[in-house]
Amino acid sequence: DAMVIQNPRYQVTQFGKPVTLSCSQTLNHNVMYWYQQKSSQAPKLLFHYYDKDFNNEADTPDNFQSRRPNTSFCFLDIRSPGLGDAAMYLCATSPTSGDTQYFGPGTRLTVL
Amino acid sequence: QKEVEQNSGPLSVPEGAIASLNCTYSDRGSQSFFWYRQYSGKSPELIMFIYSNGDKEDGRFTAQLNKASQYVSLLIRDSQPSDSATYLCAVILNSGNTPLVFGKGTRLSVIA
């Protein structure tokens, strides 16, 4: 089945230790998104790629970076995680901008 | 003014009743509207989308859109305990070529 896959599902890291979260998709969608979601809050868009065109939200901290080496894969790098970065990180895809988004299962990040 | 607003709830309804979830949006030119369901600790799952004024039905779910009043609602008929979740309203704003803007979600509790 076509889908959005995120690995790992749970990630524990130490304060300040870099971490990379992975997303892959078999939907062949042009657009990939990264969201951060904290408890009882709406998903907060961090970045999105339209193909290789990178779009960074204005309020995304510099501590967060992203890479999309090809259509299928997208990575979220957190260079120096702080306690406030503990959250669920959601990857989503859509065929084009302004279209329905399909979410992966998420990665729950814990920062010790 | 927030772009997409929802009552955070919790909204409690008895099993078998109709649950009515509401969402208002600020951008009058918004084009596309989505309802996602999110179980605790899981990622959002698309329930319905609606583009045109009026009602759209899918099984027990009906989405209603009123662009003049700038609101979109989701009705769940014959509510089941398994419908207990947070329902996120999401909107594509006027420009049309942008990611979804999410509301904070309404938590629904269906009491058996």
Residue of A nearest to B35 (CA): A100
Q: Looking at the predicted structure, is the pLDDT value of residue B97 above 70? A: no
Distance from CA of A14 to the nearest CA of B (A): 22
Contact at 8 Å (CB) between B81 and B91?
Answer: no
* Inter-chain CB proximity B98 and A98 less than 8 Å: yes
Task: Write the pLDDT tens digit of every residue in A26-48.
Answer: 999 999 999 999 988 899 999 99
Confidence (pLDDT) at B27: 87
Among B33, B11, B20, B34, residue whose Cα is nearest residue B84:
B11
Alpha helices, DSSP H, located in chain A: none
Point out the residue among A40, A48, A104 whose CB comes nearest to the CB of B43. A104
- Residue B24 pLDDT class (50, 70, 90 cuts): very high
Point out the residue among B46, B90, B98 whose CB comes nearest to the CB of A97. B98
Which chain B residues are within 8 Å of A101, Cβ to Cβ?
34, 46, 90, 99-100
- Two structure tokens written together for A93: 């895809």
Task: Write the pLDDT tens digit of every residue in B28-80.
Answer: 888 899 999 999 999 999 999 999 999 999 999 999 999 999 999 999 999 99
Confidence (pLDDT) at A40: 85
* Inter-chain CB proximity A101 and B88 less than 8 Å: no
A 10 A CB-CB count for A82 gives 12
Which chain A residues are within 8 Å of B104, Cβ to Cβ?
40-42
Q: Looking at the predicted structure, is the pLDDT value of residue A2 above 80? A: no
Query: Which residue type occupies B11?
Result: L
Task: Write the pLDDT tens digit of every residue in A43-92.
Answer: 999 999 999 889 888 889 999 999 999 999 999 999 999 999 999 999 99
Displacement of CA B63 from its chain's centroid (Å): 8
